[in-house]
Amino acid sequence: MSGHRSVAIIVRGRVQGVGYRAWTKGVAEARGLSGTVRNRRDGSVEARLAGSAEAVAAMIEACRQGPPGARVEDLTVDDAVPAPAGARGVQILPTA
């Protein structure tokens, strides 16, 4: 794999109230990714991340486990998303 990849990841299960957003921010930034993460009103977490294809693939796999206390029941990935414009690091956004 090589090049740049930008994805939207939706994680469902026990992913709110367990530090999932902060965990995502830390792990994604450690991998050199940028983007956003937020809780959604339906109880899921949405991360929009961009970076090297290798780092994004590794992050998707990490999101399948999540932080201690999380229970991931479903994870979907959409590759058809634009890269965050001028973003540095991962921003935690308000619930949408």
Q: Which residues are catalytic?
A: 21, 39
* CB within 8 Å of 8: residues ≥ 6 apart: 46, 47, 48, 77, 78, 81
Dist. CA 91–CA 69, nearest whole Å: 22
* CB within 8 Å of 26: residues ≥ 6 apart: none
